[in-house]
Structure formats: structure tokens, C-alpha cells
Amino acid sequence: MWKSRKVVIVGAGAVGTSFAYALAQKGMADEICISDANQDLAEGQVLDLAHGLPYYPPVQIHVGHKQDYADASIIVITAGAKQGPGETRLNLLQKNATIIESIVDDVLSENSQAILLIVSNPVDILTHVALQRSGWPKGRVIGSGTVLDSARFRYLISQHCNVDVGNVHAYILGEHGDSEFAAWSMTNVAGVPMAEYCPMCGACEDWDEQLAQIAREVKESAYHIINYKGATYYGIGMALVRIVGAILQDQRSVLTVSTFLSGEYGISNVCLGIPSVIGQAGVIKIVEAPLTAQEQQSLEKSAHTLQQVFQDLHAPR
């Protein structure tokens, strides 16, 4: 176990600070450091968060510096540039890849033994970038993947079926983005597969249609929230607490983090959201679920999409 459970958060924006706030309340970390390219923002966010100290479980919260990487347990990267007017996605990706690479270089310069958790988007591509730049074992560089999407999926099923979300086991796999898909073969309520649960549930009669609608809603969730309020941050904040908690407490939880595949599911050379056993060492094992032929095809399609983007990123300009 860790001597001191120190979590460094790079990026003091909406996602970084929502995560910090939730993590502090859970009492899972001894120390939370927050840094940002905008030093004033980091100072202000830390002060505001620290004023809750009398009411959190014991934790230290302070502005992070490069030296904090040296003894960090986990480094969570939420730093990123915003899309400028008229800027292409690829252009934004190139900017964010450069940001991630420079943070990874700083981490390496401090001989950090931490787990690196990438959150900035596009998360699967940036996880691959960080893994490549660091040269670390693949289990130590992971992305938040489809952990948030799977939480959205569980929530929507629980609402529709009017059943405790804790009894809903459901996974979104692949890219955290448009090519992600619902792995219905792995989805069940209290161990009862959906094909058998739906006829007895009584919540609806046209369940095939309703399930397809739920899967669509998951995919569109981020777009809806962004339309309403400009960004998503509370859901991802809690998803990060779940991932970081699994690492700090060596929980060996199965979570759909973004991890590098080298032959699993017949796919190589790409990071994407796949059920993985998470503990103190990061990704300990990838769970190779027996997907249906259609799900396997969707996973390969998602992998291909991401491989193409990764190639475009590295194409000579």
C-alpha cells in the first residue's frame, strides 16, 4: 500500500476541480495538489477548496509544482486547450497532444513512479500519446475511457427500469466518443441478462426499441449537457474518484478505462475503453469478454477510427 496517498491534478478547470472536490469529500487521498498553466486560477481554486477543510475527512490541499510529481501516487491530467473559433478538431488535437507531451516530460524529469491517468480529450488518443512519450509499462498509463459513459448507461437503464443503479451492470466499450457502443451481451440487472429481464420488468413493452434509444442517449449525453451549460464535469469528477479509489485502495475493480491493446480482442496498437482490472499497479489485467459478432465488429471499427486519428496526428505536415 502507499505510504502517502498523494494525487496530483494537472488542470484546475471545471473537470480538475470537480474531481478534487469529490475526492476530498471521499477521504481517499492524504494530499491533493492542483496545478494549472494559469497560476492564478490554480491559487484561487485551491483556496476555495481548502476552505472546506474543516468539513472534509483529513486531507491536505495545495497548489502543485513540478516537484510534486516525484512522490505522487497518481497524476491525473485534465489540462487542455479549448477549441478556438474555426479551429479544426485535428488542430485542437495537435495542441492538446503537445500539452500532454510537455507534462509527461516534466513527470519523467522527476523520476515519478506514479500511475498516469489521462482525462483530457480526445482521451483515447491522448492516452496513447502519453504512453508513447513516457515509455512506461502500458498498465501504468491509462485513460478515463468509457467509465463515465458506462455510468451514464447504468443510470439510464436504472431510470427506465425503475431499479437501483447498484444492481445494473452495464458497459460501454470502445472510443470515448462517437464510435463507442453498448455491450448488451455484458449488460444485466442483478445478474439477469436484459433479454430475460425485459419481459419480466414491466417498465415497457417495446423493449428492443427502448434499449436502442438508451444506447443512443448515452452517446449523445455529452452533446446535450454541453448545449445546456457549456461543459460536463460532475459526472466525470465522480468517475475519476471511482478509478483513483480503485488504484489507491488496490480494489481490483473492473472498469472500462482506456488501455493499450496488444492482441487482446484481436486488436493491437490502440488505446480504447475495455473492461480492465484496476488496482495499485494500474491496469492489472484486461478482461476479454465473449462479445457477440456484432459487438466485436463495433469494437474493431472503433479501434480503426482511433488508429486513423493517431496516424493523422503523426502524419508529416
By the rule CB under 6 A, 39 interacts with ligand NAD: no
With contact defined as beta carbons under 8 Å apart, do 138 and 262 qualify? yes
Q: How many chain residues bind ligand NAD (CB under 6 A)?
A: 28
- Pick one of 155, 233, 265, 310: the residue that binds ligand NAD (CB under 6 A): 233
With contact defined as beta carbons under 8 Å apart, do 94 and 32 qualify? no
Choice between 201 and 225, CB closer to ligand NAD? 225
Among the residue ranges 8-16, 127-135, 179-187, 271-279, the one whose residues contact ligand NAD (CB under 6 A) = 8-16
- Pick one of 31, 36, 68, 175: the residue that binds ligand NAD (CB under 6 A): 36
Residue 314 is among the residues annotated as catalytic for this protein: no
- Pick one of 78, 276, 298, 302: the residue that binds ligand NAD (CB under 6 A): 78
Among the residue ranges 30-38, 207-215, 273-281, 292-300, the one whose residues contact ligand NAD (CB under 6 A) = 30-38
Choice between 123 and 161, CB closer to ligand NAD? 123
By the rule CB under 6 A, 228 interacts with ligand NAD: no
By the rule CB under 6 A, 231 interacts with ligand NAD: yes
Choosing from 62, 65, 128, 176, the catalytic residue is 176
By the rule CB under 6 A, 12 interacts with ligand NAD: yes
Site for ligand NAD in 238-267 (CB under 6 A): none
- Pick one of 73, 112, 144, 150: the residue that binds ligand NAD (CB under 6 A): 144
- Pick one of 13, 174, 177, 282: the residue that binds ligand NAD (CB under 6 A): 13
Among the residue ranges 163-171, 195-203, 212-220, 225-233, the one whose residues contact ligand NAD (CB under 6 A) = 225-233
Tell me, letter by letter, the H, E, C secondary structure of 116-151.
EEECCCCHHHHHHHHHHHHCCCHHHEEECCCHHHHH
Among the residue ranges 203-211, 230-238, 268-276, 281-289, the one whose residues contact ligand NAD (CB under 6 A) = 230-238
Tell me, letter by letter, the H, E, C secondary structure of the chain.
CCCCCEEEEECCCHHHHHHHHHHHHHCCCCEEEEECCCHHHHHHHHHHHHCCHHHCCCCEEEECCHHHHCCCCEEEECCCCCCCCCCCHHHHHHHHHHHHHHHHHHHHHCCCCCEEEECCCCHHHHHHHHHHHHCCCHHHEEECCCHHHHHHHHHHHHHHHCCCHHHEECCEEECCCCCCEECHHHCEECCEEHHHHHHHHCCCCCHHHHHHHHHHHHHHHHHHHHHHHCCCCHHHHHHHHHHHHHHHCCCCEEECCEEEEECHHHCEEEEEECCEEEECCEEEEECCCCCCHHHHHHHHHHHHHHHHHHHHHHCCC
By the rule CB under 6 A, 119 interacts with ligand NAD: yes
C-alpha 192: how far from its chain's center? 27
Residue closest to ligand NAD, measured at CB: 13
Shortest distance (Å) from residue 187 CB to ligand NAD = 20
Task: Enumerate binding residues for ligand NAD (CB under 6 A).
Answer: 10-16, 36-38, 41, 78-82, 99, 119-121, 123, 144, 148, 176, 231-233, 236
Catalytic (active-site) positions? 176
